[in-house]
Structure 1
Amino acid sequence: MVKKKILIVEDEESLLKLESILLTSKGYSVTGVADGVSALEQVVLIKPDLIVLDIMLPGMDGFEVCRIIKQNPETAHIPVMMLTAKKSSQDCERGMAAGASAYVTKPFKSAKIIEIIQELLSQ
């Protein structure tokens, strides 16, 4: 079976490692980057099956990264799960308006993240 590819965009190194370990242990092929520009480069290079995207990133925020991914016909189909500390309903609305398939706030439960990812990948 071919491993599903997940791109994690998270600038906090400890969280990036935690998320990578969690998803790798579930059998996914994981690539991690720490900023929006690198995320956009990796989306084109590895063509991930799903993107886990933080919002508060250096340079370009996750809302902008998501918008760019969704505006490109070659990447618009990729589900984006925003995983962020931004909890307000306005932030959630902005995320969904930018094209996110799911909006999850930190701190998160690993089981919930896996459940959402499996759901998004099965669509």
Structure 2
Amino acid sequence: MTAMMDIAPVLPTTGTGPVVLVADDDEGVRDLVTFKLEMAGYRTLTAADGCTALTVAAEARPDLVVLDIAMPGMDGLSVCFRLHDDPATAEIPVIMLSGMASETDIELAYVSGAEEYLPKPVNTGELVRRVSWLLPRRP
């Protein structure tokens, strides 16, 4: 069961693995990514827009954030930049997901502070590999 953002306080799914915040306005993508991460042993939080993602990250301090770029309220680039600009969340690694995959789009993701970039449709196996590279599971 994935934590919903309209419930306070923000709590990750049950388990003992690191916490990953998945922010995407597409519910299907969000559910698929969340499911694959949970199957790999990670706990998850979700957000459907950029403003919620920023709030959840500030409150819950996840171990990693997976961000869609095109989201309502605040785009993923702005969320990533603001996360890395705040000392409290600056060290949280970010993986960007986007249907926009031009060289400029990819460069903007890295300039905003993203550690990784994956095009949509997302290869969930590759996403889980990238998460594990950035966030090795703890015993």
Q: What TM-score range do you get, normalising by the shorter chain?
A: over 0.9
Counterparts of residues 31-110 of structure 1 (less than 5 Å): 31-110=45-124
% same residue = 36
Compute the displacement of 1:27 (Å): 1.0
Q: Which residue identity lines up with residue 97 of structure 2 in the other structure?
A: L
Residue 32 of structure 2 is aligned to residue 18 of structure 1: yes
Instruction: Tell me the SS of whatever aligns to 1:2.
Output: coil
Q: What's the TM-score, normalizing by structure 2?
A: 0.85
Q: What's the TM-score, normalizing by structure 1?
A: 0.95
* C-alpha RMSD of matched pairs (Å): 1.1
CA contact (8 A) 2:23 2:50 kept: yes
Point out where structure 2 has 5 or more consecutive residues left out of the alignment: 1-14
Point out where structure 1 has 5 or more consecutive residues left out of the alignment: none
Q: Which residue identity lines up with residue 111 of structure 1 in the other structure?
A: G
Q: Which runs of 4+ in 1 moved over 4 A?
A: none
Matched with 2:10 is none
State the alpha-carbon separation in 1 of the partners of residues 94 and 108 from structure 2: 13
Considering fraction of residues, name the structure with more helix: 1
CA contact (8 A) 2:16 2:43 kept: no
Matched with 2:44 is 30
Compute the displacement of 1:2 (Å): 3.4
